[in-house]
Structure 1
Amino acid sequence: MLIYHCWGEVPIMGSLTANLKQSSLTLYEQLANKILNDINHEKYLPGAQIPTELELQRSTGYSRSTVRHALRILVNKGVLVKIHGKGTFVQDGTSNETTRSQFFSLTNNVENLGASISTKLVDIQPTRASKEQAEFFGIEPKTPLLKLTRLRYVDKSPFCVEYIYFTEEFSSITSENLNGSLYQVLHDQFNEVPAGGHKMFDITKASTSEAFLLNVERDTSLMQITDFVYDQNDHPLHITRQVIRSDKYKYELIQ
């Protein structure tokens, strides 16, 4: 069984002089700059915890969504690090150097464990955005999306069915070779790099098609991981939902 270890929300290391644009700043960029300025002037030292979202909301007068967006910018730039259940801290340079692209890339994760991974594109079809998907992409519900379905193999044994959702601006990706690393395609053809986001974990039951692809019985319990991924400019990049044979792959999150 493959066991992938992930160390919480691991930021890409970077300078505290984050290159946020200084003209026509949005409210969340203004707040991000203010927090960054406080860090540079040592109001918050490396390793120190910054105020909570609620405390920042009360002290600045900004909305909760604006505060959250500002913090996400600084987390994605490697200035701050979030530790689940503890809070948000100034990066002190001691975190594991695993990058966010590795955090989200199943190909890299499995290959780093010494296994051989391969991919087969199963289907490409249009779909409509659910309410949750629309909220992430910043679009209206039922807006057209592109849905890719891929089957992933480890050492030639099927272990994961993967559903990937893009907005229509990525429609040309269908002409690329999608039987390998998706992030390599995004980097080479679209100059896009995954730089942040979050994962959701759940248990699901194998549908008829998933049971056939994974060579398991229908309604077999499967691990479900959903990634909501932002690019290097903090724009929504894609949503990926993976249903995984739990007898083949174990995901361990270490804080």
Structure 2
Amino acid sequence: MIDRKSPVPMYYQIEKYIEQLIETRNLRAGDQIPSEREFTDQFHVSRMTVRQAVLDLVNSGILVRIKGKGTFVADQLKIEKALQGVNGFSEDMISRGMKPGSKMLSFACITPSAKVAQKLSIDSQDKVIEIKRTRLADDEPMAIEISYLPQKLVPNLAEADLTLSLYQYIEQKCNLEIDHAEQSIEAVIVTAGEADILKVPKGSPVLLIERCSYLKNKQSIEYTKSLYRADRYKFMVTLPRG
């Protein structure tokens, strides 16, 4: 409960109270939390104090706001991805016993930007296949993924081929062997449009992942930019000493 004599700020004590309700399973994933007015009446504090506590928990991914409905306990289960090996999204989800899926946003053959051409080590006039998809796990949006592939390496790739893993298509249909990938991860904030696609609050933090995949001959086969939901995804790495 709230200790008015404590030097700990009131809003922070309310945060910890709500977290305790979740930890003790008095509030479960998907449950709606009490309204600001209810917390105000319960703790005899200002609505601004309650609002600060709730906002901090929303920004931490513990709570989620749904416009026109209220604030709910977020699903705390995160998908773990080891930063080892070159696996596609579909392969990752299947390995976790989840059903992978995609919603196609666009599929086109385009002239690449200077950055994409540089990443793929191709001439700026060479064509690339651009694939924009929402990636799903058990029908829930997990990421927005934009992939670029040199058309000359996948000349027959069509939208219909992407019902399965893109990496499986490259290796099984094109007889190309993916050797390794280079990847970077950073935190960014979603735009309003990206938030709608991922079903997260506007201004939510997400993980921006950029990956270049290479064949045995060191030719770039794919450059991908992905936005992963930070509230549902985390990355794990094993660090050997020395």
Is 2:121–2:219's contact at 8 Å kept on the other side of the alignment? no
Alignment of 1:75-114 (within 5 A): 100=85, 103-114=86-97
What is the percent sequence identity of the aligned residues? 18
Using the alignment, how far apart are the partners of 1:151 and 1:179 within structure 2? 13
**Runs of at least 5 residues in structure 2 that lack an aligned partner in the other structure:** 1-77
Which amino acid is the alignment partner of residue 100 of structure 2? I
CA distance in 2, matches of 1:204, 1:146: 26
Q: Is the 8 A contact 1:104 1:227 kept in 2?
A: no
Query: Which is greater in Rg?
Result: 2
C-alpha distance in 1, partners of 2:174/2:89?
A: 20
Alignment correspondent of 1:123: 106
Which of 230, 237, 241 is the equivalent residue of 2:221?
237
Render the CA deviation track for 1:168-210: whole Å, top value 9, x for unaligned: 2124212542122111111222112321120011122223332
Question: d(CA) in 2 for partners of 1:175 and 1:125?
Answer: 9
- Letter aligned with residue 6 of structure 1: L
CA change 1:146–1:247 in 2 (3 A) is same
CA 1:5–1:137: 2 relative to 1, 3 Å: closer
Partner of 2:139: 156
Relative to structure 2, which stretch is displaced further, 223-232 or 143-152? 143-152
- 2:211 is paired with a residue whose SS is strand
Output the CA distance in 2 between the equivalents of 1:166 and 1:241.
Answer: 12
Q: What is the TM-score when the length of structure 2 is the normalising length?
A: 0.60
Count of aligned positions: 161
Q: Distance in 2 between matches of 1:198 and 1:111?
A: 23
Structure 1: runs of 5 or more not aligned: 8-99
Of 247, 250, 253, the residue aligned with 2:231 is 247
Q: Aligned match of 1:132 in 100, 115, 125?
A: 115
Q: Tell me how far 1:144 sits from its aligned partner.
A: 3.6
* SS of residue matched to 1:186: helix
- Alpha-carbon contact 2:130-2:148 (below 8 Å) kept: yes
Give the Cα–Cα distance (whole angstroms) in 1 for the partners of residues 126 and 219 of structure 2: 17
Aligned position for 2:128: 145
The letter for the 1-side match of 2:198 is: L
**Structure with higher RCO (Cα < 8 A, 6+ apart):** 1
TM-score (norm 1): 0.57
Counterpart CA distance in 1 for 2:199 and 2:219 is 37
Look up the SS of the partner of 1:173 in the other structure.
coil
Q: Give the aligned partner of residue 224 of structure 1.
A: 208
State the distance in 1 between where 2:149 and 2:196 align: 25
Alignment match, 2:81: 4
Q: Which residue of 2 aligns with 1:196?
A: 180
**Moved beyond 6 Å, runs of 4+:** none
Matched residue SS, 1:211: helix
Return the letter of the residue paired with 1:193.
E
Aligned letter for 2:137?
Answer: V
Q: For residues 202 and 142 of structure 1, what CA distance do their matches in structure 2 show?
A: 30
Assess if the C-alpha contact under 8 Å between 2:214 and 2:221 holds in 1: yes
Q: 1:128 to 1:203 in 2, by over 3 A?
A: farther
Deviation at 1:139, TM superposition (A): 2.5
